[in-house]
Structure 1
Amino acid sequence: MKETSTCDQSNKYKRIYYRLININLFDENEELSFEEQLRATKIFFSLLIISLSIVIIFTSYSVRTNTVIIQSPKQNSFEKLSTQYPTTLSCPCTQSSIRYDQFLSFDTIYHPICTSQFVNQTFISSLIEYNMSNYYPLDYRIMAASHFQIIALLCKTVKQMVSDALEEFTTKYIITNKALFNDIFNVQIEALIEQLKATTMANIKHINDFLWFNIFQNRIVSGLRTNYYIDTVPGSAVSIFLMSGYTNENKTCTCTLSDNCVHQAGIYNLTGRVGLQIPLLFGSLANDAPLLLTIPGIMVGCLPYNSILASKLECFYNQSCIDQIQIFMKGFSLVKPLSSSHFEKNTTVNDLFHQLFIESWNPMINFTGYFHICSPNSCTYSYNRRFNLFYIIVTIISLFGGLKTILYFSTPVLVIFIRRIQNCKNVQNTNDEHSTMNQTNERNQNFKQWFSFHISKIYQKYLTLNMFPLLSDIMDGIYSTHIFILSLIIGVLVLVFYSSLTVYIRINSVYQPSMNEYEQLYKQYSSTLTCPCTRLSVSYSSIIYMKPYYHQVCSSDFVKDDKWLLYSLGIDGFINSRDFRIRTSTTFSMLQKLCILSMEAVTNELAVFNSLQFVNRQVLPKTTFDIQTSQLIQQFQKQ
C-alpha cells in the first residue's frame, strides 16, 4: 500500500513536470513550428525571470533617499532626531527672533566681602578717629576706614556694572530661522556668556586704569597726608610742601615719581608729627617707631586706593587676626570672619576686582524655553536606505506588464531570427565554391530580403493580432489590441520623458576632504554641500590674527626713561616756574603713561577677543567666512 502511494505521488510530479515543459504560449503563431513554439515559450520565461531578477537586484542595492515630515514635533522627538539625522534635519521656527531673557537667566554670587559687615557703613564709621592722620604713616589706623569705603564702593560699582551688562545682554535677540540642536545651542550661548564675562571684566579694568591714571597724574593730595603733607618750620611762618616716601623690598619710592608705593601695614606706638624731625622717607629707618602689630596681607602707601588694591584679605578670614586688631581698633568688634570663598585667601583685592568680585555667574540655560518659543510647525529629515521591500514590489508590479508584453512580441521574432541564421549557415555551407564577392552580395541581398520580409510580416501580424480572443467579435479584439499597444507605447514614452526630467537626490560622502577637494565640491554643489565640523567651536586666535601699530611717539625717545625723561633732572630748580624745561618731565611722563595705558588696553582687548569662540556646525564657504570675520574685526575696532 505504501509503495502504491509513493508511485502515485511520483507519477503526479512527472505529470506536473511534463505539463510545465510543454507549456505553449505561442500556439496561435502559425509562423512557428510546434517545436519553435515550445522553444519560444522557454526563452520567454527565461528572459522574463532574468529581467525580473535584474530588476530585483538593482532595486535592492540602489540607494533611495527617503524624506520624512513630522508635524508639530515635541522636544523629545526633536532631540532624538537631531542625534540620528544631524545633517539633514531641518525644523523652521515659527518665531525666528527670541530674547535671551526668555531662555537665559543668571544668579550671580559675589565674594563674601561684598555682603559682609566689613562694607557696612556703621562699621566703617566706627573706624574714623579725630586727627587719625597724625598716626605714623605706616599705621593701619590711618587708612582702615578708607580701605573699607573703597571696597564697599568697588562692590557697589561692580554689582551695578554687572547688573547693567546682564540687563543689556538679556534684552538682545538670538536670530535662528531653524531650531538649533541642543548641543550647538548650549555651545553658542556659553560662548556668548564667556564673551559677556570677558567684555565686562575688560571694561572694569579700563575704568580702573583710567581712574588711577587721573588720580596719579593730577597729583591729588590725600586728606590723610599719606602722599603729600604741609609742614611748618618752628618759630617761623614758613610752610613746606613735602612728599612722602615708602620703602619696598629695600628700595625707596616717592609718591611723586611712582604710582605704586606700598608697604606692609601695622599698628605703631607713635602719634603726632614733630615738624621736620619726622623722616622724609617713612620706613627707611628700622627704629622710626615701635611696631605693635603686623597685619598680614594689608598694605598702606601713598593713597588708600592703590594700597587696598595691593592688599590681601587673608587676615579677615581669621577670627584671631580680627581679635588682635580689635585691641587697637574697637570697631572690629562689629565684624565676623569672612565665609569661605573659591578664591584663595591670599588673592589681592586688585585680582578680585578684575574678576568683578564674582564667585559664580550661575547662568541657567533653558533649552526647553527656547524650543517652546521657536515652536517649529514641522520637521523634515531625509535618510538613505537600501532594500526597501515596498519599493521593490512597486517596481516589479510597474515593470511586469511592460516586460511581459515586450518579451511576448519579441520572443517569436528572436526564434525566427535564430532560425534564419541557421538557414544562412546551411546555405553558406552548400555554396562554398562560390567566390567571396558573390557570397557577400548574396548575403547582403538575403539580409535585405529577410529584413523586408519580416517587417512586412510584423506589420501584417499587427493588423490581425488579437490579444483578447475571449471577445465575441474578432474585430473588437483586434481594435482592443491596437489600442492596448498604442497606449503601451505612449505610456513608455511618457515614462521616459518623465524620467529624463525628474531630479533624483543622490548623496555622496567624501571622508576627511582636503581644502582643495572642498573648494572643488563647493564650486560644483554649492547649494547642497554640507561638511559637518569635528569641533563645534574654535577660538578666534585660530582664524584671525591682528597686530596693532601705534603712533610713532609711543616708540620714540620722548617717552623713554633713559632718554628724554632724564633731561629735566639736571635743570636748575630756581629757574622760572613757567619755563618749559620745568614741565618736561611731567608732560612727557603723562604722554608715556597714555601710551602705556593705550597699549595695555588694546593688549587686554586682544586677549579677550582671541579667547572668544567662533561657533559653527558646518564648514562655511570662503566668501561667507570672510564676511563674518571682517564683521568681527570691525566690531572689535569700534569697541
Structure 2
Amino acid sequence: MHRLWDKLKTYLQNLNLFPSMESVTDAHQFRNEIISTRLFLVLFILSLAILLLYTSVVKITKTVHVPVPSYEEYARLNSSYSQTLSCPCQNISIDYRDILHVNYTLHQFCTSFFLSDEWFEFLSPTVIVGSIDLFAYDFRNTLPSALQAIKSFCNLIDQTMSDSLNRFYSNQFVTASVILYDVFQYQVQALIDQFRLSIINGFWSSLTMVRETTQGNALLSNFLIGYSIYIDRFTNSLVISLSRFDNRCICSTSSTCVRQSSIYIYPVSMPLFTVPNFYIGCYVIESLLQSTLQCFYDQNCIDTVISYVTYSPPITVTALNSSLPSSYSVNTTFNDILRNLMIEQWNSFVKHED
C-alpha cells in the first residue's frame, strides 16, 4: 500500500495532459505543461460540481393532464402543486340559483295572532264600548292602525324579499377555473352580504322618502292628532289646518313628536293604564318607529288591554314568546327591527361541487 501510494503520488505529480509534440528537454516548458494540466483538472472538477449542484436545485416542470378529476382529487393536487395547478372550467358562468339558496325568517310578530283578522275584529269600533267617545290618544283607538301598519310592513318586506331574490338569482357567478371550497364560500358570502346590504338600504331609502314627503306636505293622519281642521267662521267655506301636538313639540316642524300611549277615562282624559314604551304621535309610522313591542311579550299587559275592551266575547290571547332565539330584545325599538327588515335570521345554502 505504501509503494502503491508512492506510485500514485508520483503519477499525479507528473501528470501532463498537454505534452509537447517533441521530446521535452526544457524544464521550464515541462513545468508549464504540468501547471496547465493541474489548472485544467481543477477547473474541470469545479465545473462538474457547479453543473451537478445546478441540476439538483433547479426544478424541472412536467405537465400532467388529469381528465375530469373529482373535487377530492383536485384538492389533493392543489395542496401539493398550488402554484402550477390549473383546472379550467367548461362553463365559466353559472346562475346564482344553481349554486346557492337564501332564505330568511321574519320576526315572530308577523305570524302572531295580533295580526290576525280575529284580533282586528276584536278591536273594531263596534266592539269597543263607547268607541265614538274614546279620547284621541287612547290606546284602544290607535292600536288597530299601529297593528295594520306592522302587518303592511310584514307583507311589504316579504314581497320585496321575494322579488329581490328572483333578481339576485338571475345574476351569474363567473370564474375561469375551479375554486377551492373555502375561497368559494368566502366569495359567495360576500355576495350575500352585499345583497342584504343593498336590500336594506333600498328599503330604508324608500321609506325615508315617503316619511319626508308626508311631513313636507303636512298630510293628515286618520286620527287628526298632528293637525286640526277648522272651518273659517267668517266665510263658512275656507278650511284651515292647524298644526298641534303639545307645548314642547309641534308636527309642522317635527314629525317625531310623540307622547305616551295610554287607556283613558273619557272625557276627563285621566289615564287608566299606560302601555309601556308605546307611543302616539303625529303619524302612525313615526310613533311606531319609536315604540317597542314590549307589551305584546307581557301576558299581564295583554290581559289588561283586553279587560278594557268590553262588550266583546272573551278571547284567549297568548303573548309573544320571549324565550325563542331572536336577534332582537323585548325592548328593541321598532325602528331598529325595521332597519333589519324585521328579519330574525338569514340562512344560506351553498352548492360547491355541483
- TM-score band (shorter)? 0.7 to 0.9
Does 2:354 correspond to 1:354?
A: no
Does 2:46 correspond to 1:53?
A: yes
CA contact (8 A) 2:154 2:342 kept: yes
* CA-CA distance at 1:140 after TM superposition: 0.5
Mapped partners of 2:293, 2:14: distance in 1: 108
Which residue is equivalent to 2:317?
Answer: 334
Q: Are the structure 2 counterparts of residues 221 and 21 from structure 1 closer, same or farther at C-alpha, using a change threshold of 3 Å?
A: closer
Does 2:251 correspond to 1:268?
A: no
After superposition, give the CA deviation of every residue in 1:339-366 in whole Å (9 maximum; x if it has no partner): 4422232222122112111122223344
Mapped partners of 2:334, 2:85: distance in 1: 51
Q: Are the structure 2 counterparts of residues 262 and 76 from structure 1 closer, same or farther at C-alpha, using a change threshold of 3 Å?
A: same
* CA-CA distance at 1:19 after TM superposition: 6.4
SS of the residue 1:105 aligns to: strand
Residue identity matched to 1:104: L
After superposition, give the CA deviation of every residue in 1:230-249 in whole Å (9 maximum; x if it has no partner): 689xxxx99987757333xx
Residue identity matched to 1:325: V
Does 2:346 correspond to 1:344?
A: no
Which residue is equivalent to 2:293?
Answer: 313
SS of the residue 2:316 aligns to: helix
Residue of structure 1 aligned with 2:248, choices 248, 251, 270 = 251
Residue of structure 2 aligned with 1:324, choices 289, 292, 304 = 304
Residue identity matched to 1:350: N
Which residue is equivalent to 1:137?
Answer: 136
After superposition, give the CA deviation of every residue in 1:303-323 in whole Å (9 maximum; x if it has no partner): 323222221112222222222
Q: Are the structure 2 counterparts of residues 125 and 228 from structure 1 closer, same or farther at C-alpha, using a change threshold of 3 Å?
A: farther
SS of the residue 1:299 aligns to: strand
CA contact (8 A) 2:295 2:302 kept: yes
* CA-CA distance at 1:18 after TM superposition: 6.0
Which residue is equivalent to 2:209?
Answer: 210
Which residue is equivalent to 1:31?
Answer: 22
* CA-CA distance at 1:32 after TM superposition: 4.5
Q: Are the structure 2 counterparts of residues 162 and 184 from structure 1 closer, same or farther at C-alpha, using a change threshold of 3 Å?
A: same
SS of the residue 1:296 aligns to: strand
SS of the residue 2:300 aligns to: helix
Residue identity matched to 1:56: A
Residue identity matched to 1:351: D
* CA-CA distance at 1:224 after TM superposition: 3.8
Mapped partners of 2:187, 2:5: distance in 1: 74
After superposition, give the CA deviation of every residue in 1:469-514 in whole Å (9 maximum; x if it has no partner): xxxxxxxxxxxxxxxxxxxxxxxxxxxxxxxxxxxxxxxxxxxxxx
RMSD over aligned Cα, in angstroms? Answer: 3.9
Residues 341-490 of structure 1: pairs in structure 2 closer than 5 A: 341-366=326-351, 368-369=352-353, 372=354
* CA-CA distance at 1:59 after TM superposition: 5.2
Which residue is equivalent to 2:275?
Answer: 295
Q: Are the structure 2 counterparts of residues 41 and 74 from structure 1 closer, same or farther at C-alpha, using a change threshold of 3 Å?
A: farther
Normalized per residue, the structure richer in helix is 1
Mapped partners of 2:200, 2:273: distance in 1: 36
- Determine which structure has more spread, i.e. the larger CA radius of gyration: 1
Q: Are the structure 2 counterparts of residues 264 and 343 from structure 1 closer, same or farther at C-alpha, using a change threshold of 3 Å?
A: same
SS of the residue 1:345 aligns to: coil
Which residue is equivalent to 1:112?
Answer: 108
Residues 13-32 of structure 1: pairs in structure 2 closer than 5 A: 14=6, 30-32=21-23
Residue of structure 2 aligned with 1:64, choices 58, 73, 87 = 58
Which residue is equivalent to 1:584?
Answer: none
CA contact (8 A) 1:244 1:302 kept: no
After superposition, give the CA deviation of every residue in 1:368-408 in whole Å (9 maximum; x if it has no partner): 33xx5xxxxxxxxxxxxxxxxxxxxxxxxxxxxxxxxxxxx
* Comparing 143-152 and 37-46, the one that deviates more: 37-46
Residues 89-168 of structure 1: pairs in structure 2 closer than 5 A: 90-130=86-126, 132=131, 134-168=133-167
* CA-CA distance at 1:97 after TM superposition: 0.9
CA contact (8 A) 1:106 1:364 kept: yes
CA contact (8 A) 1:300 1:308 kept: yes
Mapped partners of 2:332, 2:142: distance in 1: 20
Mapped partners of 2:78, 2:61: distance in 1: 15
CA contact (8 A) 1:245 1:261 kept: no
Q: Are the structure 2 counterparts of residues 163 and 69 from structure 1 closer, same or farther at C-alpha, using a change threshold of 3 Å?
A: farther
CA contact (8 A) 2:245 2:257 kept: yes
Q: Are the structure 2 counterparts of residues 54 and 25 from structure 1 closer, same or farther at C-alpha, using a change threshold of 3 Å?
A: closer
Task: Give the paired residue count.
Answer: 338
Mapped partners of 1:146, 1:310: distance in 2: 15
Mapped partners of 1:140, 1:23: distance in 2: 118
Structure 1 gap segments, 5+ residues each: 1-8, 272-287, 373-639
* CA-CA distance at 1:137 after TM superposition: 1.4
Q: TM-score, normalization: structure 1? A: 0.46
Q: Are the structure 2 counterparts of residues 324 and 107 from structure 1 closer, same or farther at C-alpha, using a change threshold of 3 Å?
A: same
Residue identity matched to 1:251: R
CA contact (8 A) 2:106 2:342 kept: yes
SS of the residue 1:123 aligns to: helix
* CA-CA distance at 1:156 after TM superposition: 1.2
Which residue is equivalent to 1:188?
Answer: 187
CA contact (8 A) 1:125 1:145 kept: no
CA contact (8 A) 2:299 2:318 kept: no
* CA-CA distance at 1:266 after TM superposition: 0.7
Q: TM-score, normalization: structure 2? A: 0.78
CA contact (8 A) 1:23 1:38 kept: no
Which residue is equivalent to 1:479?
Answer: none
Mapped partners of 2:297, 2:42: distance in 1: 91
Identity %: 27
Mapped partners of 2:293, 2:79: distance in 1: 49
* CA-CA distance at 1:178 after TM superposition: 3.1
* CA-CA distance at 1:92 after TM superposition: 2.6
Q: Are the structure 2 counterparts of residues 83 and 293 from structure 1 closer, same or farther at C-alpha, using a change threshold of 3 Å?
A: farther
